[in-house]
Amino acid sequence: MSKTLQVQAVLSLKMPRTTIQRPTRLYARRNSHAMTYDVPILLVTWRRSDTTTKLIDRLRKLRPSRLFIASDGARSDREQEQIDVATTRQVIETILDWPCTIQKRFSPINQGCKAGVSNAISWFFENVDEGIILEDDILPDESFFPYCEEMLQKYRHDQRIGSITACNFQPENSSGMESYYFSRYVHVWGWATWKRAWIHYDGTMQHWPELRDSGWLKQLKSSQRFSKFWGRKFNAVYSGQKDTWDYAWVYSSWKQGFLSCTPKSVLASNIGFGNYATHTMNQISPLGEIKSITFPLIHPESVEIDSIADWWTQNIHYAKPKSETRQSIYLFIYKAMRWLKAIKKKFKA
């Protein structure tokens, strides 16, 4: 471990549709203040004491037994930033007031957005085999935690699955009774994964030039818009023009063929939009209204991408239409595709 860091220790095959018939352990013990939540959780913090406080207040209800906290350092030429980072760390020390094992990784230097977060996650998985990752601007719904607990266990050894997310950018509940769907897209506004998946994270994107030149993106999806969009994103990260870890994680996940479990409802809000944000400077989050997921979970019959949901995610969430008229056209197409899929399924039954 680097000497510059302080570490304080005190953590598509067919399948039958299945449901868990018993309440999850979290819900079964919710009324007992003596009980705790055993899935390890990593908090990635920096300079926002207000959002960090809200997140820890939410975790207090959960009472996780193992908590890992990473804090990147302030930039040496930013006096206010140094004050903010120190204040946030003091808040962390003060308001963690339930019995739990806490491990901290406080950096005296600023590592930047990419290294600060990815190094924290790598440190997390040096200590655990699976867990939940929450940045300081994410406020999860209470149902997100038992959802992650069940999904981490169900797909623990399934090499097709790389992550579990709280995000859903769909305009409406997708067709079908299942509690979640499988997506190519990796969303990290509240998510969980395994050490077996994160070991494939390639922050340098070492093989991107040869993959780009081989037409790899077109092989993933035969869409010129898809290839151009993600080619620009990956080029920017590879060249260092964009200092971010999440696109490198998308690249790494696609390189491994990973899918992400995406809930049918939104299970977290991003409360960090605004002037203090690093990338999300606008005031409005694209996430919809939070709605708790229903238990017992209903699992999909097969592990395959929901191509209609991913079509919407790419064209609306990522590519972002330039006009409301175009977005309305996309919504009409989306609903038509959902309707046709439902009709085909009905006739096959």
Average pLDDT (164-182) is 86
Q: What are the pLDDT digits (tens) for 186-213? A: 999 999 999 999 999 999 999 999 999 9
Q: In the prediction, which pLDDT does 273 show?
A: 62
Place 161 in a pLDDT band, splitting at 50, 70 and 90: very high
Place 344 in a pLDDT band, splitting at 50, 70 and 90: confident
Q: In the prediction, which pLDDT does 289 show?
A: 82
For the full predicted model, state whether its pTM sits above 0.85.
yes
| E strands, 234-332, in order | 259-263, 268-270
Place 27 in a pLDDT band, splitting at 50, 70 and 90: very low
Residues present in the chain in total = 349
Average pLDDT (14-23) is 41
pLDDT at 140 over 70: yes
Q: How far apart are CA 70 and CA 222, in angstroms?
A: 40
Q: How far apart are CA 290 and CA 85, in angstroms?
A: 29
pLDDT at 260 over 90: yes
On whether the CB atoms of residues 319 and 224 are closer than 8 A, the answer is: no
Average pLDDT (240-259) is 97
Alpha carbon 44 to chain centroid, angstroms: 12
Burial tier of 136 (Cβ tally within 10 Å: 0-12, 13-18, 19+): buried
Most confident among 25-39, 271-285, 324-338 (mean pLDDT): 324-338
Query: Lowest-confidence range among 41-45, 78-82, 318-322?
Result: 318-322
Locate 115 and state its tokens.
């290294």
| E strands, 88-160, in order | 101-106, 130-135, 138-140
On whether the CB atoms of residues 276 and 47 are closer than 8 A, the answer is: yes
Average pLDDT (7-28) is 40
pLDDT at 315 over 90: yes
Locate 89 and state its tokens.
């760390």
pLDDT at 8 over 70: no
Q: How far apart are CA 113 and CA 138, in angstroms?
A: 16
Q: How far apart are CA 183 and CA 77, in angstroms?
A: 42
* Per-residue exposure over 259-280, b if at least 16 CB sit within 10 Å of its own CB, e if not: bbbbbbbbbbbbbbbeeeeeeb
pLDDT at 20 over 90: no
Can you state the percent helix, strand and coil of the chain, rounding each to 5?
Answer: 40, 15, 40
Q: What are the pLDDT digits (tens) for 214-232? A: 999 999 998 999 999 999 9
CATH 1.20.210.10 describes domain 6-203+245-318: no
- Report percent pLDDT > 90 for the chain: 76
Taking CA atoms, 68 is separated from 3, 11, 43, 89, in Å, by 19, 5, 6, 13
Read off φ and ψ for residue 254, nearest 5 degrees: -65, -35
DSSP code per residue over 326-345: HHHHHHHHHHHHHHHHHHHH
Torsion, Cα of 339, 305, 286, 39 (10° steps): 130
Average pLDDT (276-301) is 72
Q: Is the peptide bond before 16 cis (omega within 30 degrees of 0)?
A: no
> Which residue in 87, 122, 114 sits closest to 193, CA to CA?
122
Place 287 in a pLDDT band, splitting at 50, 70 and 90: low
Query: Lowest-confidence range among 5-9, 150-154, 247-251?
Result: 5-9
Show me where the domains of the chain are located.
Answer: 6-203+245-318
Q: Provide the 3-class DSSP secondary structure of residue 162.
A: strand
Q: In the prediction, which pLDDT does 283 show?
A: 52
Q: In the prediction, which pLDDT does 314 show?
A: 95
pLDDT at 347 over 60: yes
When comparing pLDDT for 286 and 61, which is higher? 61
Mean pLDDT of the chain: 87
Where do the H-state alpha helices sit in 284-323?
A: 307-312
Place 301 in a pLDDT band, splitting at 50, 70 and 90: very high
